[in-house]
Structure 1
Amino acid sequence: MPGVLEWAMPESLSVRCPACRREQLYEPPVCPCACGAHLAPPLDPHAPATPVTHRSWDDEWVTVHCAACGRDSEWPRPELGCPCGTVLLLPMARTEAGEAARRGAPAAPRTFGPVTIRTARDAVTAAAVYLRRLGYRDIRRADQRPTAGIGIAAHGLLAQVDPTVGPASPRDVECLWLTAMTESADCVYFSLAGYAPEARTTADSLGVPLFVLDLTGTPRPVNDLAADLDATGAR
């Protein structure tokens, strides 16, 4: 199981790629806790970034702790794509709870901005931030991996985030719907590359809201079901 981290407000970090020696400035996305506090991973400025050479499902996520309310939740681990093609895993530091939490200060207001998408994990974070804004709680990694992309879940909801460069297919939409049916949950699909025309038809017939994530991390409704969800939020 991933270690528990206490997240605070973000600080920019200068990251050097060990492959090409290029330096970039990384600013972690702000993620909302269910209590409304704004959270971001505490980065270790003294530890080097490491290239991602292989993917492990368990390593994709980290359990995080909100010092404001004491709630634990899972978020994608932060990473950065270098222009040379190397994907870098950002080093994180364990922190103590902030002064505001120790003094019992109230949580920040429930205002949520989009998350700029640079990596697949940014896409997952953007979708999770949006779902929390709609009122879904207890967002976590889905128990089953989807046919494409990454699965996240909330109470009564299963979401698929597809960061691939090709449009989602009818099969992708149907598999999400079937998995949600077995869990007695609603479902929603987020895609970076959009949807094949047949996938939209399949989604409309099965009742699956479709969203496209633009590179600013803003979800755009593709069908009427998504527009209705955007307008009404979680029920």
Structure 2
Amino acid sequence: MKAQIAIQDDSIEAIVCQIQAGNKPLQHKLLQAYKPFIAKCTSEVCKRYIDPYKDDEFSIGLFAFYEAINYYSLEKGKSFLAFARLIIHRKTIDYIRKQSKHTKVSSLDDLVNDQEKMESPFEIVATSRAFQLEQDTWHRKQEINHFCEQLLAYKFSLQELIQVAPKHKDARRSAMEIGYLLYNDDSLKWYVRQKKQLPMKLLAQKVRVSKKTLERNRKYILAIFIILDNDFLYLSEYIIANLQTGDLCMDKNM
């Protein structure tokens, strides 16, 4: 009974901490309560409906959620569900890749034993690469969509970000440093997450730029913070590199 009340009343981060402290009955209740979330995350990767009772991918997602409970660290400040979503995505991607590799190897063995059906090894490699490219392209699209959703939560768009990005290298470097400062300072990080805006007064005390400059680069600084706060598997290096050079140009349909 106490465990059920805890699920209703506490934040999920607090519940995870209780589980890590040894509350195993609460862990079972949390896993049951978040099965729809797990199925949704797994479905995002597989691009199809995932049946919790039939699809092996759901079992992978369920175990990934279990791992997220064990490895989550409250001190790092990231929300548990964002962390769990990342782990589920990565584990499911790994599973799909392993299954694909196994299937292709088995198929190749069959072909070697059946000369009439034998394909060119070059065709097999090309098919494998094409499949991997298709998978990676789809996952990049999902991350771009997620990045755009995060930007909208902070009340601006990807197009606005491209338009207001600082044109000078020094200005971009300074804004990026401020973004890293926000992410690495627990009190500032909490403020940005809760308010979805820059803590101008607090920030002005910690940096050497004026409030006017902070306001001018506000969207760019927030974009850096969003990237650092979301663990993009496919896009993080690309986005950071292009924000550094000022050449950010992303198509949601790429």
Normalising by structure 2, we get a TM-score of 0.29
The structure where strand makes up a greater share of residues is 1
**Structure showing greater Rg:** 2
The structure where helix makes up a greater share of residues is 2
Normalising by structure 1, we get a TM-score of 0.31
